[in-house]
Structure 1
Amino acid sequence: MKPNINAFFDSATWTVSYVVFDEPGGCCAIIDPVLDYDPKASRTSTRSADKLIAFIDEQRLSVEWILETHAHADHLSSADYLRDRLGGTIGIGSNIPVVQETFKKIFNLGDAFIPDGHHFDHLFTEDELFQVGKLTAKAISVSGHTPADTAYQFDDAIFVGDTLFMPDIGTARADFPGGDARQLFKSIQKLLVFPPETRLFMCHDYPPVNRAAAWQSTVAQQRLHNIHVHDGINENEFVTMRNKRDATLEMPNLLLPSIQVNIRAGKLPPVETNGVAYFKIPVNLI
């Protein structure tokens, strides 16, 4: 059964969230939802998440899954807020404890933060099948950008997270803690062996000035036109390019707050004795 797919583009973070459903009045999964964050005032809001809720209510859908492709470094997740409002099971790749352990050290989170993945409701193993109403989906490990990146396949559609971008933009970076350009190349090849007509849905788009934002391509388009991994580019060439390019990139604007929320499945850090939650900002470390 082919999925129904509705995309929601957040221009503030260049992020695409999705509602994937079997039929109106049926069941759905939410993929990579955004929690709005104003870094100047350090205030969150739920404008983007509420758009998802309005659509889900309009289609009379029951939320079965809230799927994270990875612990994002460029936007905060609204998974916890959506689960409170709509129900559903928050899922992510089974290597998330590796990511949690890395950032527990960076943020010095202490004994209270246990990096075992329990913050999420479900940790997907490689090629694990699961149901979204009448839809059968599969989790595909695509580590490299982070150790826990996971793509989700629904029939002829794959939500690739931060592996591939639109062909004219290329591929995700691999220089975050735990990232690996060689592993990213291997993960991308796992996606590019699917049939040419397979639809690929991006988590981000950073469009050049001469085109509007876009987030859907095909395996054939990526193999022909992706500026980083088109057919004919070998692993060593990709790794050399990716490492050289990553060395020139600035850190994402929301890296530090995003990670602290996203390794907790969308929850803010615990409130302190004055009832206020705080983000920790390491100095001269990242």
Structure 2
Amino acid sequence: MRPQVEPFFDSTTSTFTYVVHAGDGTAAAVIDSVLDYDPKSGRTSTASADRVIAFVREHDLRVEWLLETHAHADHVSAAQYLKRHLGGKIAIGEQIRLVQHTFKGVFNLGEDVPADGTQFDHLFAADEAFAVGALSARALHVPGHTPADVAYQIGDAVFVGDTLFMPDVGSARCDFPGGDAHTLYKSVRKLLSLPPQTRLFMCHDYPPASRDANCETTVDEERRKNVHLHEGVSEDEFVEMRTARDRTLSMPVLILPAVQINIRAGDMPTPESNGVRYLKIPLNAL
């Protein structure tokens, strides 16, 4: 089955959001939505999510799933906003509990943020089958970037999250808490064992100056051309490269606000006595 895939690119965070469906008037899934967040002012806005809502309504789609590939560190999820306007179940891999446990300690979060995944409507087991209307789907457990990363296989399309990037960009970092380059190598090999014509859709693109941002490639192209993980690159070679590269990277701009919100399934902290919601900024913790 070949689903229709509509990408939405947020240039501020270099994130692709996808609406996946079988045609007008059918069921749909929204993958890796973006809530606009200004780190200078602490203000949120919904322009990116509203583009998704407009498309869904224009094509008379019924949103069944709001899928997260992982608890993102580079953008804030709009899942709660989309659920209020479009419906659907917010879902992520069941290993999100490990990520919640880790970051609950980092942010010293209270009992109102349980580390049991209950903030999400559904937690996928590894390789669990599900459906988007008439489209068959699977949640592929692909840890390495974080312990909880999931790639969603819907028909002939796979939404890889932060495992792979476009062939000329390579692979995701592995230096976040719970990340592991050996594990990521195995996860990528799992993805690249799929049929060569399988379409792969990136969560992000950080293109060189020679091209515009792009979201789609294939298993065959990644096998032949990925600068970090093409055929013939050994696990040890990859781990050495990835570890050295990660040492040079700074933290994502939005990691502190984003992770606090995203481990809550995109929900915001409870308002305090003055009616204002607050995020924590831990000093010298990461």
Instruction: Specify the TM-score bucket, using the shorter chain as the normaliser.
Output: over 0.9
Aligned-partner Cα distance in 1 for 2:94–2:161: 15
SS at match of 1:161: coil
Could you tell me which amino acid in structure 1 is paired with residue 223 of structure 2?
R
Aligned position for 1:152: 152
Matched, 1:178 2:181: no
Aligned to 2:141: 141
- Which residue in 1 is equivalent to 2:92? 92
AA aligned to 1:38 is D
1:232-243 aligned within 5 A: 232-243=232-243
- Match for residue 229 of structure 1? 229
C-alpha distance in 2 between matches for 1:253 and 1:271: 24
Instruction: Please show how residues 95-110 of structure 1 align to structure 2 within 5 Å.
Output: 95-110=95-110
CA-based RMSD: 0.6
The amino acid that maps onto 2:86 is: L
Residue 114 (structure 1) aligns with = 114
Give how far 1:156 is off: 1.1
The gaps in structure 2 that reach 5 residues or longer are none
Q: What residue number does 1:213 align with?
A: 213
Instruction: Measure how far apart 1:240 and its partner are.
Output: 0.7
SS of alignment partner, residue 76 of structure 1: coil
Q: How big is the shift at 1:65?
A: 0.2
Give the 5 Å matches for 1:1-286: 1-286=1-286
Secondary structure in 2 matching 1:77: coil
Alpha-carbon distance, 1:30 to partner: 0.2
Q: Helix, strand or coil for the counterpart of 1:261?
A: helix
Q: Deviations over 1:204-244 (max 9, x none)?
A: 00011110000101111101110100011010111111110
Q: Residue by residue, what CA displacement relative to the aligned partner does 1:32-85 show, whole Å, maximum 9, x if unpaired?
A: 000000111100000000000000000000000000000000000000010011
Shift of 1:112: 2.4
Using the alignment, how far apart are the partners of 2:145 and 2:59 within structure 1?
34
| CA displacement, residues 103-144 of structure 1 (integer Å, 9 cap, x when unaligned) | 000000022221000000000011111111111111100001
Give the fraction of aligned pairs with identical amino acids, expressed as a percent: 60
Cα deviation 1:144-183 (Å, max 9, x = unaligned): 1000000000121100000000000000000001111110
What is the TM-score with the length of structure 1 in the denominator? 0.99
**C-alpha distance in 1 between matches for 2:158 and 2:275:** 41
Quote the Cα distance in structure 2 between the aligned partners of 1:30 and 1:239: 32
Classify the secondary structure of the residue corresponding to 2:279: coil
Q: Distance in 1 between matches of 2:252 and 2:126?
A: 28
**Paired positions, count:** 286
SS at match of 1:163: coil
Matches of 1:156 and 1:126, distance apart in 2:
19
Residues 85-108 of structure 1: per-residue CA shift (max 9 Å, x gap): 110000000100000000000000
Consecutive aligned runs of 4 or more in structure 1 exceeding 4 Å deviation: none
Tell me the secondary structure at the aligned position of residue 51 of structure 1: helix
Question: What secondary structure is seen at the aligned counterpart in 2 of 1:114?
Answer: coil
Task: Supply the AA of the counterpart residue of 1:199.
Answer: R
